[in-house]
Amino acid sequence: MGLLKMMSGGLLSAGLLAAAPLSAGLAEEKKMVPPPPYQMAGANTVTIAVQWDAATVDKLLPAGLKAVDGHTGGVNVYTAPNGFGLTPYSAAYAYVSVQGFDSADGTKARFILQGYYGPNPGVAKAMRTHFGSDVATGESSQRGDSQRWEGVGMAGGREVMRVAVKPKGGDCPSIGGTLNYVGVKDGHAGFALMQIPYIGNFCAGDPLQLTLSGSDGDAFDSLKAVKLLGGGQLKNGIFAFTAR
């Protein structure tokens, strides 16, 4: 699989533009979100593709789920201001690609090793309830210029992730596809599956920094990146989150 395709996979979480951006006000006012499907638009992501330490990742995977050879995966920090259901939305998470749940275009599925979603606590709750993702409440932000673009994940007033890439410049081609994220739902046999069709413009970059700041015993505390494989930005992304 080419680097562009692999990164576009880890990069995103994508879909179709909602007809009316009603959920943001609902989420902020009532701290509740509706059930899926969800839509997001105007998403921007900073991503780094990673080869993880195999022994560490294997301990974090649920029984019956195997990482791909090489234990590749990545980290994403992204925001989506517009859409329906979860927006305004932000996330910072680490994932590993896994066997057995490929998307229709052959992209390997992903398992979220740890993540922080928000800023509304209902976002993280929806991810756990509907998609079986073991994530907590947090938020993210991005900033940068033509020399450095970085994303920061926060939880409980503490920085938990910082990633940075150096943009390569040049064209940012339009990309699209479908990503599958595997989760574990309490009380259900087998695995949950979140399917994310997406489109956006991918701007390639070189990885500059990946820092995970975990608490004792959590995944961010133990995860080790063996190698940074590539980086970039997804701009103007449009995503959908659907449960299968």
Alpha carbon distances (Å) from 82 to 22, 73, 94, 237:
9, 27, 23, 11
Q: What is the pLDDT of residue 51?
A: 98
**How far is 37 from 14, CA to CA, in rounded Å?**
11
Give the pLDDT confidence of 40-62 residue by residue, as tens digits.
Answer: 999 999 999 999 999 999 999 99
Q: Which domains does the chain have, with CATH numbers?
A: 3-243 (2.40.400.10)
8 A C-beta contact, residue 79 and residue 140:
yes
8 A C-beta contact, residue 196 and residue 178:
yes
Give the pLDDT confidence of 158-200 residue by residue, as tens digits.
Answer: 999 999 999 999 999 999 999 999 999 765 568 999 999 999 9
In order along its 244 residues, the chain shows pLDDT tens digits of 444 444 544 443 332 223 334 344 333 434 678 999 999 999 999 999 999 999 999 999 999 999 999 999 999 999 999 999 999 999 999 999 999 999 998 999 999 999 999 999 999 999 999 999 989 999 999 999 989 999 999 999 999 999 999 999 999 999 999 999 999 976 556 899 999 999 999 999 999 999 999 877 789 999 999 999 999 999 999 999 999 8
8 A C-beta contact, residue 239 and residue 45:
no
Query: Quick one: 64 exposed, middle or buried, by C-beta within 10 A (0-12, 13-18, 19+)?
Result: exposed
